Amino acid sequence: MAFHVEGLVAIIVFYLAILAVGIWASWKTKNTGSDGDRSEAIIVGGRDIGLLVGGFTMTATWVGGGYINGTAEAVYVPGYGLAWAQAPIGYSLSLILGGLFFAKPMRSKGYVTMLDPFQQIYGKRMGGLLFIPALMGEMFWAAAIFSALGATISVIIDINVNISVIVSALIATMYTLVGGLYSVAYTDVVQLFCIFLGLWISVPFALSHPAVTDIGLTAVHQVYQAPWLGSINSVDIYTWLDNFFLLTLGGIPWQAYFQRVLSSSSATYAQVLSFLAAFGCIVMAIPAVLIGAIGASTAWNQTEYGVPDPKSKKEADMILPIVLQYLCPVYVSFFGLGAVSAAVMSSADSSILSASSMFARNIYQLSFRQNASDREIVWVMRITVLLFGASATAMALLASSVYGLWYLSSDLVYIIIFPQLLCVLFIKGTNTYGAIAGYLFGLVLRITGGEPYLYLQPLIFYPGWYQDDNNLYIQRFPFKTLSMLTAFVTNVLVSYLAKYLFESGTLPPKLDFLDAVVARYSREHMDKATLVKSDNIVLNELAPVNPRHSQTLSSTFTNKEAFNYVDSSPELSNTEDN
């Protein structure tokens, strides 16, 4: 394949446009808020993200390179098809559930990151433990999509994979570094527009290619391969449900999502944005589904791609760029490539900023440097954006199983963080003992279930397991959901058991070494005056603290105005009051 100068020029134009928008947005950040809340402006955009920009950036929480490439691949792969393309429906339901149940309590309490309520209720040590799976999920996700981008670009314009990965990572890191959430949000608008326009322009050309059979026919009849609508065998129904719950419920407890929720100008706006994004996820998946169907309906021996077909060459994961390359005119394929690269950066920048925000606030500031200045926190965020961006790039270039690591880490987000989030927001009385027990039980059950992508063999064989052609053990039983439920039940039971044992006098107060039940007046728990700055919050639902403690964390956890809970948007104020 020859080097395509036109393709390189198209990519450069897309990247420069996105970089320009990111730098402009960083200027907006510098002119937002006072000098005392610069770090909050970077993390949550000054809490004034409106409906238009908010709707785009909330949609970009999940609509990225992995989303559109993965959806097209699932539809294309024989034996799977549209029936197994769960991401569009799963993530849309995730956003709906997030808007219905999680957005309002998180935004109305004025938190800054997803980990704030955990540190408020369970203490800073537990917040540090929960940071680990959250960080792993964000970093491995960024690495996986950088890796996919390199392969995508190399398919169409035939440049070195490493160069494309490094340049893309540098641009995404650069505008995230200078602008924070504003840069991420405004570039999301450009990137989603590029995805939508680029893919929809490509679809008609690909459909009209002479080698493509009517996709309506191939949807239900076998022509070149099994019908692309796909089917779910009875033996795979539990695996399908396990994956579906993983996407739907496991898609909620991500900092990338809550960063946008917490940046909304009101709690009601946060809910509306979630619902808009759910609709956006479905709409943005349509061209990807069509491209996957086109790939399954193509006689590849009648194209320049030749034989064997992509699935035989083990290039099914690249079906979207392959369709753009071989079934569309050159100028259309280059425009579509720009859309794909934009999609990748719309995911990568969010993950890098999310990881940096949690570290700077919940680890550095609230755990170690509680009296750190705002300027110091801003510089910590900038340094960690560079470090996390470089780490994700290195993993994309060096790790051979980035996707396997991401699958495992996303499982941990579902199994560990989601039940903890349920408890901390909705179950009164859970404490650090239950949180740690649930964390460990969930982790052990997940690891012992095995992970084929990492060639990790299971220690527990659930009903329905089988051994594939590569001698890997595959679990059909929904053990991931079982692990999540076990972690949730363990948290609640151990919390109430510990509470009963200490408060009944069965165990002496000195054994409450985590200061979670009897001795809750230690420095481990955040100061009531620090975390709660409004009478709207029922204080007996929070971990009480001794008022003699220092006030050095004043205003770090919550924004005083956020607790007034009067919607700043007049058009939605009546809805908010209801």
Position 463 scores a pLDDT of 93
Residue 479 CB contacts under 8 Å (≥ 6 apart), including other chains: 242, 445, 446, 449, 460, 462
- Determine the Cα–Cα distance for residues 159 and 151; give it in Å rounded to an integer: 10
Give dist(CA 411, CA 406) in Å, integer.
8
The CA distance from 241 to 254, in Å, is: 21
**Side chain identity at 21, as an amino acid letter?**
V
Give the pLDDT score at 236. Answer: 92
Backbone CA torsion sign across 348, 392, 378, 134:
positive
Q: What is the pLDDT of residue 486?
A: 97
Nearest Cα to Cα of residue 165 among 395, 379, 361, 378: 395
**CA 35 to chain CA mean position, Å:** 30
Rama region for 230: left / alpha / beta (φ>0; ψ in -120 to 50; rest): left
Cα separations (Å) of 551 from 230, 372, 544? 60, 13, 15
**Interatomic CA distance for residues 226 and 293, integer angstroms:** 11
**End-to-end CA, the chain:** 62
* Residue 473, H or E segment: strand 473-474
Distances 448 to 24, 212, 236, 456, 471 between C-alpha atoms, Å? 48, 45, 21, 9, 17
Q: What's the CA gap between 403 and 224, in Å, rounded?
A: 29
Cis peptide before 308 (omega within 30 of 0): yes
CA-based nearest residue to 188, from 276, 297, 315: 276
- In single-letter form, the type of residue at position 300 comes to W
d(CA 154, CA 190): 23
Digitized pLDDT (tens) for each residue of the chain, 578 residues in all = 455 676 677 777 877 888 888 888 777 666 655 444 667 777 777 787 778 888 888 887 778 777 888 899 999 998 899 999 999 999 999 999 999 999 999 999 889 999 999 999 998 889 999 999 999 988 888 888 787 777 777 766 777 778 878 887 888 788 777 777 778 888 888 888 888 888 889 999 999 999 999 999 999 999 999 999 999 999 999 999 999 999 999 999 999 899 889 988 888 989 999 999 999 999 999 999 999 999 999 999 999 888 888 998 888 888 988 898 899 998 888 777 776 776 666 677 888 889 999 999 999 988 888 888 888 988 899 899 999 999 988 888 886 666 667 777 789 899 999 999 999 999 998 999 999 999 999 999 999 999 888 888 899 999 999 998 888 899 999 999 999 999 999 999 999 999 999 999 899 988 988 888 875 544 455 543 344 433 333 333 333 333 333 333 334 344 444 334 444 444 444 444 44
What is the C-alpha separation between 42 and 29, in angstroms, rounded? 7
Q: What is the pLDDT of residues 357-374, one digit of tens each?
A: 999 999 998 888 888 888
Burial profile 348-364: b = 16 or more Cβ within 10 angstroms, e = fewer:
bbbbbbbbbbbbbbbbb
Tens digits of per-residue pLDDT, 220-276? 999 999 999 999 999 999 999 999 999 999 999 999 899 889 988 888 989 999 999
> Exposed, middle or buried: residue 471 (CB in 10 Å: 0-12, 13-18, 19+)?
exposed
Number of CB atoms found within 10 A of residue 555's CB: 14
Tokens 């029922």 map to which residue?
538
CA atoms of 366 and 554, how far apart (whole Å) = 11
